[in-house]
Structure 1
Amino acid sequence: MAQRKGCLIGCGVALVVGIAVAVALVFGIGKIVDAAGKTVLEPEVYASVKAGDPEDAVRAKLPSGESFLKEALKEGGPVQPADSVCSWYIAGGDTAAGEETVYRFCFKDGKLAEKASYRMK
């Protein structure tokens, strides 16, 4: 009887651990999908804006850009213009293996001060 009880407890623990792993996996996939939705920008949108455009009009075309990927996208890019506020995005439809195109938009005094495109590994 004791052996059977130990087996049931072991199976119960394995079941709970398995459920926890499945929940963590679903949560992780959800976070990745959420981040992609907030940071992916189509090349057509990047091309449609130019320096000097009003910040409100440009930001209306952009996803929020707020995700855990933001810090990684900053690395390797050109120097940020002084006194500007920038947002970073991943180019949609970019298929180069191991590299991503990053779009950066910098705003100053209510206007798009600069936009930049660079490759990130």
Structure 2
Amino acid sequence: MAQRKGCLIGCGVALVLGVGVLVAVVFGMGKVLDMADKSMVDPTVYEGVKTGDPESEVRAKLPSGESFVKSALKEGGPVEPDGSSCSWYISGGDTEMGEETVLRFCFKDGKLAEKVRYPMK
């Protein structure tokens, strides 16, 4: 009887741990999809905007960019123009030499002041 009770307890613990792992995987997948939705830009959008375009028009074509990878995207890029406000995104296109491409859009005085493409470090 005691042996059977121990087996049931072991199976119960394994079931709880299995459910916990499943929940963690689903939560992790949700975070990855959320990050992709908020920080990925199609390369045609990058090519379609030009410096001098109104900030409101450019931002209307971009996702929010607010995700937990924002600080990682900033690393390794060129210096931001003085007095500008920049947003960083991951290119939705093919990777270059196995690295993700970062797209940075900088705005100043209500216009797109600079757009830069560089490999993620």
The number of equivalent residue pairs is: 121
Shift of 1:111: 1.2
Tell me the equivalent position of 1:37: 37
Q: Is the 8 A contact 2:89 2:104 kept in 1?
A: yes
- Counterpart-to-counterpart distance in 1, 2:96 and 2:51: 27
Secondary structure at the aligned position of 1:45 is classed as helix
Q: Is the 8 A contact 2:99 2:120 kept in 1?
A: yes
Shift of 1:97: 4.9
Shift of 1:69: 1.2
What letter is aligned with 2:11?
C
Which runs of 5 or more residues in structure 2 are unaligned?
none
Deviating runs (4+, > 4 A) in structure 1? none
Secondary structure at the aligned position of 1:23 is classed as helix
Which runs of 5 or more residues in structure 1 are unaligned?
none
TM-score normalized with structure 2 length: 0.94
- Counterpart-to-counterpart distance in 2, 1:13 and 1:109: 60
Identity, % of aligned pairs? 73
Q: Is the 8 A contact 2:95 2:101 kept in 1?
A: no
Tell me the equivalent position of 1:108: 108
Q: Is the 8 A contact 2:96 2:119 kept in 1?
A: no
TM-score normalized with structure 1 length: 0.94
Q: Is 1:52 aligned to 2:52, yes or no?
A: yes
- Counterpart-to-counterpart distance in 1, 2:104 and 2:59: 12
Tell me the equivalent position of 1:76: 76
